[in-house]
Amino acid sequence: MFFLTPVLVAVLCILVVWIFKNADRNIQRKKGEPGARTKSRAWVDEDLRDSTYLHQAEEDADEWQESEENVEHIPFSHTRYPEKEMTKRSQEFYELLNKRRSVRFISNEQIPMEVIDNVIKAAGTAPSGAHTEPWTFVVVKDPDVKHEIRKIVEEEEEINYMKRMGHRWVTDLKKLRTNWIKDYLDSAPVLILIFKQVHGFAANGKKTVHYYNEISVSIACGILLAALQIVKTVPKELVLISLLNLQ
Ligand SMILES: Cc1cc2nc3c(=O)[nH]c(=O)nc-3n(C[C@H](O)[C@H](O)[C@H](O)COP(=O)(O)O)c2cc1C
Q: Is 177 in the pocket of ligand 1 (CB under 6 A)?
A: no
- Measuring CA to CA, which residue among 225, 212, 226 is closest to residue 128? 212
- Parse the chain into domains and list their residue ranges: 108-141+189-247, 144-186
Question: Measured from the CA of 104, which atom of ligand 1 is nearest?
Answer: 11
- Residues 233 and 112 sit within 8 Å (Cβ to Cβ): no
Dump the DSSP string for 148-206: HHHHHHHHHHHHIIIIISHHHHHHHHGGGT--S--THHHHSSEEEEEEEESEEE-TTS-
Distance 102 CA to ligand 1 centre (A): 6
- Measuring CA to CA, which residue among 198, 183, 204, 181 is closest to residue 244? 198
Global pTM reads 0.76
CA dist., res. 68 & res. 209, Å (int): 13
Among 51-55, 88-92, 165-169, where is mean pLDDT lowest?
Answer: 51-55
* pLDDT at 35 (0 to 100): 43
Structure confidence by residue, pLDDT tens digits, 191-222: 999 999 999 999 999 999 999 999 999 999 99
- Residues 188 and 109 sit within 8 Å (Cβ to Cβ): no
Q: How confident is the model at residue 32 (pLDDT cuts 50, 70, 90)?
A: very low
Q: How many CB atoms lie within 10 A of CB 46?
A: 9
- pLDDT: is 68 or 229 the higher one? 229
Q: How confident is the model at residue 42 (pLDDT cuts 50, 70, 90)?
A: very low
CATH class of the structural domain 108-141+189-247: alpha beta
Distance 113 CA to ligand 1 centre (A): 26
- pLDDT greater than 70 at residue 190: yes
Structure confidence by residue, pLDDT tens digits, 135-175: 999 999 999 999 999 999 999 999 999 999 999 999 999 99
Instruction: Tell me whether residue 226 is exposed, middle or buried, using C-beta atoms within 10 angstroms of its C-beta: 0 to 12, 13 to 18, 19 or more.
Output: middle
Instruction: Tell me whether residue 57 is exposed, middle or buried, using C-beta atoms within 10 angstroms of its C-beta: 0 to 12, 13 to 18, 19 or more.
Output: middle
